Structure 1
Amino acid sequence: MDSCTLYPINIPLRNDGKPDLRYKAAKEFVASDISKERTTNPSKLSIQSLKSTSHSSKPEIIEQQEQKVQEQQKLKLIDIGKMITIVKDDFVSGTCKAVRQGLIILNDDRTINPQSPLNLDGIIKIRSDGKLDRRLKVMQYIDDRSSKLKVEDYIGEQSKEDSLIINTELFFGLLEKKPGLRSSNYSIEQSLSFLSEKVNPKVGKDTRTKNINNNKRIIELIDGNGRMTRELRTYIQQKVDAIHDLQQKKKTTADIEWIGCEMENLVRK
């Protein structure tokens, strides 16, 4: 409202022609007029108020959007990582999903071709020796089967005096003889979980030493060396029977099946 505005005759005015707010009628008129203007012209609301609202909500919206993008990127990396399998000597398995779908192209010497789509997209990086650079985030989610199986990676410190660790050592020793791609960590953990049901948790020192020696002799027999004895045959048969029991309970894996067959073959010789 300016000095040219015409006011109702009952509104007291100052010398400059504006409502004299010392009077109740003037105060009520001004208050009513402002309220009406805000209702009919919302665009004339306080600019400072709008700025304040925008300023307070904008960072929160941006943060939520960034979190959503980061989560989507992480899920994408997890999905891609699951498609990549690393085997012995850090080579990418030629049978993994990333290779089968053409996302990773392998050269004849099994190194990674720089023209691989995942490399061009920056999701993976190739070292000078043609293998995957483990520093990239996607490497956190790959199926890594490159390292040698170690008992301490699967069995806690509290189990080191149990007969379970002896069976685990035998299990890992036999798996090294198994042809083809090593099983995933999940599959190995599942096998160990089943096998752990068929051991005596506590054994004496003499028995433990004897079991360790028998396990070594089993590995030698698998390699075509060593000699079968009556005692060793009985020891192997006990393990075969335990595996048969697991099979009947449908608590078995491809690794357990393979080991069972190998041990049965030893007993039959």
Structure 2
Amino acid sequence: MIVLFTDFGLKGPYMGQMRARIHELAPKETVVDLMTDAPAFNVGTSARLLAGLIDHMPQKAIFVCVVDPGVGSSRKPLCIRIKERWFVGPDNGLFQFVLKNEPDAVAYVIDWRPEHLSLSFHGRDLFGPVAAKLATEQEVAMTILPLDQLVILEEEQNHYAIAHIDDFGNCWVSIPDFEISKEATILIKNHHFFYSAVFSDTEKGKPFWYINSSGFVEIAVNQGDAAGRFNLTIGDRVNFI
């Protein structure tokens, strides 16, 4: 299975072009959109989100991960092997939390290049095709890169934030369940949110936070719109005490 994690969105041709290229090279492989609306240009928040979302994905998947504001620059294109999984994408810190506690992971710089490589769309021209080659057991030219030479997130990128807002106005936060106590208070824009296990444990219209089905903190209002009510947007910083 080839799994796509991008900030491309569904408007415009980008997802279609990348998926078409993968299908052309690996027509028998299943391609799944894990997320097409990762926080745009926000590598740090996307990195935390990616690390949590893969917990519920197949162990033999190949992940194409493209949140890449530095596309066209000198940043390296990577393949990373963690057990039976492959991760393909840019060396910009996006895999930092995926690699946490994975000392046996192996990272590679992708040396292979297609006949045509645009400056601005490596998802279609490089990362997607490499994933297709891996899925079909074709050789891909690459060179081992020591893990301690991978780019790490800069301090201003490494903070908790709202990572996704669903159609109900519920706000996913890039805090995984193992990093927070149920006694904690979530702080966003001077608003305080307290823990409740599920929606049915709260009164209608009451705001709260809980651990969602993907293992992340989520801000919600029972039968309401948390994002609209508290003017919350993707990228808003989040703290807890």
Task: State the TM bucket, normalised to the shorter chain.
Answer: under 0.3
- TM-score w.r.t. the length of structure 2 is 0.25
- TM-score w.r.t. the length of structure 1 is 0.23
The higher relative CO (CA closer than 8 Å, separation ≥ 6) is in 2
- Bigger helix fraction: 1
Question: Which structure would you say has the larger Rg?
Answer: 1
- Bigger strand fraction: 2
